[in-house]
């Protein structure tokens, strides 16, 4: 699973729907989400990640995000959610 190149408020709902649709095809355990293509984003990207994490937890799965853009890591730290997303 991978994040798109752009993830702002406009793309948040369609991106979450696409990712949620892919969850059924993921094996049990931790789902790996590749963020290396993410170039343009706002705080909506964090909202998508947190909601995806929540949905996975209800299914007994975890989330691991790889390839974090440094600016997204900074944003997660600013909002105080970096630990939630790093520890899943």
Supply the pLDDT for residue 85.
81
- If one counts the domains in the chain, the total is 1
Cα separation, 27 vs 37, whole angstroms: 23
| pLDDT tens digits in sequence order for the chain, 88 residues long | 999 999 999 999 999 999 999 987 888 888 999 999 999 999 999 999 999 999 999 988 999 999 999 999 999 999 988 888 874 4
1 domain residue, yes or no: no
**DSSP secondary structure of 26-55:** SPSSEEEEE-TT--EE-HHHHHHHHHHHHH
Q: Where residue 15 sits, what CATH number does that domain have?
A: 3.30.750.24
> Which domain does 11 fall in, by range?
6-86
3-state secondary structure of 7: strand
């Amino acid at each position: 699973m991978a994040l798109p190149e752009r993830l702002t408020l406009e793309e948040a709902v369609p991106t979450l729907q696409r990712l949620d649709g892919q969850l059924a095809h993921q094996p049990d355990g931790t789902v790996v989400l590749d963020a290396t293509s993410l170039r343009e984003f706002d705080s909506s990207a964090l909202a998508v990640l947190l909601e995806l994490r929540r949905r996975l937890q209800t299914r007994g799965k975890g989330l691991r995000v790889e390839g974090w853009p440094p600016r997204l890591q900074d944003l997660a730290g600013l909002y105080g959610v970096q630990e939630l997303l790093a520890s899943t």
